[in-house]
């Protein structure tokens, strides 16, 4: 199985981390009617606990709201009128309208495949934008929703795609499966919640949209997919949560997540590669490690525990700096970056990791072509 034909769509709005902090701080002060902290105090808190601007330089968003002022007229966060922002249904209507346009743009620029797997944890509407777009195809396109798995969402979707192509007897002969990630994390902030945990979360997440294809034909430029693997870490189910709540999707995130992952990543990797018959020593030193940049500390942990060189994880750090954490859309952006980097030669092994609620650790072993 091969991955190829990456197409990302840049969201129309961008903010530096400092602009984000200012906007978020003002939203918090107004939404909480000054009960907790002023904008300036929130700004200090964001600088203290949030991801720094050295680590996240800018973030891109599909929501136009993310500027200071005009708190009566924002699309999602008119916090002077509604302290939590607009309702869950209105957030979903915004999501659907935006994602329909994204699918239109994507399939004006590429051919329809046999299957589309729509990956998201930030908006659930059926029929989905993927289904509505699939109807425009000249051939029959099967649409599968791969929803609500969080930052590691690319892996279950890759698992599905690789299976859809493999089982010709039951599913028919399919040539290509597209995976399309549409993550509008910016829809699910809660300006009413003053907890430090929420400030950390709000300092990390951004929006992202990316499509790519899996097929059995070797492309001129792409990845060969050798192996996929996934495990749950015992005793960590409280460490991260993502659930449908009243005003939007609600996230919880323990600050111990990087350590919890760091403590397991070596055993996990050895177990995986041993089970599948790959030689970790042969791969490790020449591989590039595409670590889902959930935050800077998780990259540090994987680098330290796996005893990697900085250049083996530098693409992850760069992507975090350039775009922040786009949930499931992040790793595919990283793969696109690796593909477009001519300094990374064909044949380079790529070990990817992502992490999410469970805690779940997912990994893939691919090879750049």
Instruction: Please report, as ranges, the residues that interact with a second copy according to CB under 8 A.
Output: 1, 87-89, 92, 96, 121, 123-127, 131-132, 134-135, 140-150, 156, 159-160, 162-167, 169-172, 225-232, 234, 237, 240-246, 250, 275-276, 356-360
As given in the structure block, the two tokens for residue 325 are 């954490």
Choose between 157 and 302: whose C-beta lies nearer to a second copy: 157
Q: Give the shortest CB-43-to-a second copy separation in angstroms.
A: 29
Q: What are phi and psi of 253, to 5 degrees?
A: -155, 115
Contact 354, 290 (CB under 8 A): no
Q: Rounded to the nearest whole angstrom, what is the least distance from the CB of residue 172 to a second copy in the complex?
A: 6
In the complex, the smallest distance separating the C-beta of residue 174 from a second copy, rounded to whole angstroms, is 10
Residue 312 gets the label, from left (phi > 0), alpha (psi -120 to 50) or beta, of alpha
Sorted by sequence, the CB contacts under 8 Å of residue 346 that are 6+ apart come out as 368, 369
Query: How many whole angstroms separate alpha carbon 190 and alpha carbon 202?
Result: 9
DSSP 97: H
Closest separation between CB of residue 45 and a second copy, Å?
25
For a second copy, the closer CB: 75 or 125:
125
Query: Which strands, in side-by-side order, build the sheet including 2-8?
Result: 142-147, 115-120, 176-184, 207-215, 2-8, 223-232, 360-368, 349-356, 288-291
Which of 299, 358, 363 is closest to 148 using CA atoms? 358
Cβ distance to a second copy smaller for residue 48 or 175: 175
Looking at the Cβ atoms of 52 and 227, the one nearer to a second copy is 227
Task: Tokens 């930030």: give the residue.
Answer: 122
Q: Least CB distance from residue 114 to a second copy, whole Å?
A: 11
Considering the complex, state which of residue 156 and residue 296 has its C-beta at the smaller distance from a second copy: 156
CB of 16 to a second copy, least distance (A): 31
- Closest to a second copy by CB, 195 vs 245, is 245
Least distance in Å: CB of 167 to a second copy?
A: 4
User: DSSP letters of 230-283?
Assistant: EEEPTT-TTSEEEEE-SSSEEEEE-TTHHHHHHHHHHHHHHHHHHHTT--HHHH
């Amino acid at each position: 199985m091969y991955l190829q034909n990456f197409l990302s769509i840049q969201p129309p709005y961008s903010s530096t981390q400092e602009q984000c902090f200012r906007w978020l701080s003002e939203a918090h002060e107004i939404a909480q009617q000054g009960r907790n902290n002023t904008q300036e105090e929130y700004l200090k808190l964001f600088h203290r606990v949030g991801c720094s601007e050295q680590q996240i330089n800018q973030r891109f968003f599909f929501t136009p709201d993310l500027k200071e002022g005009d708190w009566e007229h924002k699309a999602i966060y008119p916090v002077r009128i509604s302290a939590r922002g607009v309702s869950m249904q209105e957030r979903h209507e915004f999501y659907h309208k935006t994602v329909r346009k994204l699918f239109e743009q994507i399939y004006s620029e590429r051919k329809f495949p046999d299957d589309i797997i729509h990956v998201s944890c930030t908006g659930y509407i059926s029929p989905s934008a993927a289904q509505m777009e699939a109807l425009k195809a000249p051939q029959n396109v099967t649409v599968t929703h791969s929803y609500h798995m969080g930052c590691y969402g690319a892996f279950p979707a890759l698992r599905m795609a690789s299976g859809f192509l493999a089982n010709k007897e039951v599913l028919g002969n399919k040539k290509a499966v597209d995976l399309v990630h549409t993550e509008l994390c910016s829809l699910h902030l809660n300006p009413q919640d003053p907890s430090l945990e929420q400030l950390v979360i709000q300092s990390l997440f951004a929006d992202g949209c990316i499509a790519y294809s899996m097929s059995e034909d070797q492309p001129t430029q792409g990845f060969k997919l050798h192996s996929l693997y996934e495990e749950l870490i015992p005793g960590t189910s409280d460490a991260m949560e993502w659930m449908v709540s009243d005003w939007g999707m609600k996230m919880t995130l323990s600050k111990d997540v990087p350590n919890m992952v760091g403590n397991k990543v070596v055993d996990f990797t050895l177990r995986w590669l041993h089970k599948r018959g790959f030689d970790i020593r042969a791969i490790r030193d020449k591989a590039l490690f595409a670590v889902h940049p959930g935050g800077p500390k998780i990259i540090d942990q994987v680098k330290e525990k796996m005893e990697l060189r900085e250049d083996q994880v530098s693409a992850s750090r760069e992507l975090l700096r350039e775009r922040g954490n786009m949930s499931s859309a992040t790793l595919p952006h990283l793969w696109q970056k690796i593909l477009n980097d001519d300094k990374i030669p064909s044949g380079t092994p790529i070990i990817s990791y992502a992490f999410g609620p469970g805690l779940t650790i997912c990994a893939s072993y691919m090879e750049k072509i």
